[in-house]
């Protein structure tokens, strides 16, 4: 049973560029959340998608946007990249009756 899969694993981008990260949730899960984890910090909630709509949003600027597809997979888009956007981006999935979230291994984004 595949867990949460994220792609790519690593990414290097230049300031001002745009990036798209992808996530496939665990089988049977329909809710996808995205988190940003800076080095030495705990994950910070970006937003959550359910039924193809953004259900909740954390304290992140509009440069961060997302999408959920009918098969429950999701994308995170970040525009106008800043050096401070360098972090591990984690996707987590959950579903009805599940306790806690299942996290993927993340995408490590480096902005230079």
Which residue from 40, 53, 71, 84 is in contact with another protein, where contact means CB under 8 A?
Answer: 40
User: E strand or H helix at 36, and its extent?
Assistant: strand 31-37
Residue 22 host element (H or E): strand 19-24
Q: Are 92 and 99 in contact (CB under 8 A)?
A: no
- Binding flag, residue 105, another protein (CB under 8 A): yes
> Is 90 one of the binding residues for another protein (CB under 8 A)?
yes
CB of 100 to another protein, least distance (A): 4
- Using CA atoms, how far apart are residues 20 and 83, in angstroms rounded to an integer? 16
The label of the residue with tokens 């909740």 reads: 56
Q: Which is nearer to another protein, 106 or 111 (CB)?
A: 106
Binding site for another protein (CB under 8 A): 4, 31, 33, 35, 40-45, 48, 50, 55-56, 58, 90, 92, 94-106, 108
């Amino acid at each position: 049973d595949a867990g949460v899969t994220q792609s790519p694993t690593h990414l290097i981008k230049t300031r001002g560029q745009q990036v798209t990260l992808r996530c496939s949730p665990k089988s049977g899960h329909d809710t996808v959340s995205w988190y940003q984890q800076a080095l030495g910090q705990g994950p910070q909630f970006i937003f959550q998608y359910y039924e193809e709509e953004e259900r909740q949003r954390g304290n992140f600027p509009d440069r961060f946007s997302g999408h959920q597809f009918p098969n429950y997979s999701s994308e995170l888009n970040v525009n106008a990249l800043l050096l401070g956007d360098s972090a591990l981006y984690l996707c987590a999935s959950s579903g009805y009756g599940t306790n806690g979230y299942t996290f993927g291994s993340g995408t490590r984004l480096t902005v230079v």
